[in-house]
Amino acid sequence: MPQPSLVTQDLTVRFGGHVAVDRVSCAFTPGELTAIVGPNGAGKTTYFNLISGQIRATSGRVTLMGRDISGLSPSARTEAGLGRAFQLTNLFPRLTVLENVRLVIQARERRGFNLWTMAMGHRDLIEEAEAVLDRVRLTALRDQNVSALSHGDQRKLEVAAMIALKPRVFMFDEPTAGMSVEEAPVILDLIAGIKADPAATVLLVEHKMDVIRSLADRIIVLHNGALVADGKPAEVMASAVVQEAYLGKELTDV
Ligand SMILES: Nc1ncnc2c1ncn2[C@@H]1O[C@H](COP(=O)(O)OP(=O)(O)OP(=O)(O)O)[C@@H](O)[C@H]1O
């Protein structure tokens, strides 16, 4: 079993008297896609925000590749190898699709630059950006300004930027929300492609059970901010605690 890439330890946040995330301890491993599920208001997005640094924990720790990142800003966490789609992109609306991806690669290379590595040449940057666009099927739009893209294409570009950054952990929060029936499968294929990399750890907050069923290796369930179930999808779906958390709702309808 590989070492965990991301660990949360007793991670907790209180908003006034309300505990939105309640002592969540969980380890995530490369080669595994974990779906994070739970009813509305369970704390899923807040848990993501604590991991990516959008909000600071009241107590507890987040460790990435063995390093305590609890005190780092969101951008420092990105640099440390944590990829969260909306946070990474900082898309430049007046630049083209290709230029946006090239800038992400350039920023990544600058960070990796040291005496022993040579900075990539312009041609290499463009070639890598083209390869990423090909992977997300945005090649035809490479010279379009980002501001002219549809919502679905912007989401694809967010995934492209995340792939270009080569993070260790990929975080997706309802990646197909607001997408058309035609667009959603492209994003799901991309996530499946990312998950096929044994070095990638993928976290997915998702309500749609068909998406979870097709992608998840593991499901964790949050309820009232606490982790109430963790295991293989079939076991978790069948467990009493999950049925109760969803108050008798059919999980397939969630
Ligand atoms: N900044 C905040 N201030 C106060 N309360 C907050 C804040 N952020 C979240 N909460 C509360 O924390 C709880 C968890 O919210 P969160 O958005 O994480 O749930 P969720 O599981 O992602 O829900 P959904 O599935 O509806 O997106 C909710 O009760 C929410 O109202």
pLDDT in tens, 137-190: 999 999 999 999 988 888 889 999 999 999 999 999 998 888 888 888 888 999
156 lies in a domain?
no
41 lies in a domain?
yes
236 lies in a domain?
yes
The C-alpha atoms of residue 65 and residue 6 are separated, in whole angstroms, by 6
Phi-psi domain of 214 (left: phi exceeds 0; alpha: psi -120 through 50; beta: other): alpha
Interface confidence, given as ipTM, is 0.95
- Mean local confidence (pLDDT), 37-62: 95
Atom of ligand 1 nearest to the CA of 55: 1
Residues 6+ away with beta carbon under 8 Å from 20: 13, 14, 43, 46, 225
32 φ, ψ (degrees, to nearest 5): -125, 135
232 lies in a domain?
yes
Q: What is the whole-number distance in angstroms between the Cα of residue 167 and the centre of ligand 1? A: 26
Q: What is the whole-number distance in angstroms between the Cα of residue 199 and the centre of ligand 1? A: 31
pTM of the model: 0.90
Look-up of token digits 């694809």: 156
Nearest-CA residue for ligand 1 atom 26 is 40
Predicted confidence (pLDDT) per residue in 104-130, tens digit: 898 888 766 544 445 567 888 899 999
Expressed as residue numbers, the domain containing 45 is: 1-72+202-254
Decide if 48 contacts 69 (C-beta within 8 A).
no
137 lies in a domain?
no
Which residues does a 6 A CB cutoff place in the pocket of ligand 1?
Answer: 15, 18, 20, 38, 40-46
Q: What is residue 249's predicted lDDT score, i.e. its pLDDT?
A: 54
Number of compact structural domains in the chain = 1
% of residues, the chain, pLDDT over 70 = 90
Q: What is the CATH number of the domain that holds 229?
A: 3.40.50.300
Predicted confidence (pLDDT) per residue in 188-222, tens digit: 999 999 999 999 999 999 988 889 989 999 999 99
Token pair in block for residue 126: 């463009």
82 lies in a domain?
no
195 lies in a domain?
no
Nearest-CA residue for ligand 1 atom 30 is 41
Decide if 166 contacts 108 (C-beta within 8 A).
yes
Atom of ligand 1 nearest to the CA of 48: 18
251 lies in a domain?
yes
Our mutation pick for probing the ligand 1 site, out of 12, 45, 48, 172, counting the most ligand atoms within 8 A of Cβ, is: 45
The C-alpha atoms of residue 136 and residue 154 are separated, in whole angstroms, by 11
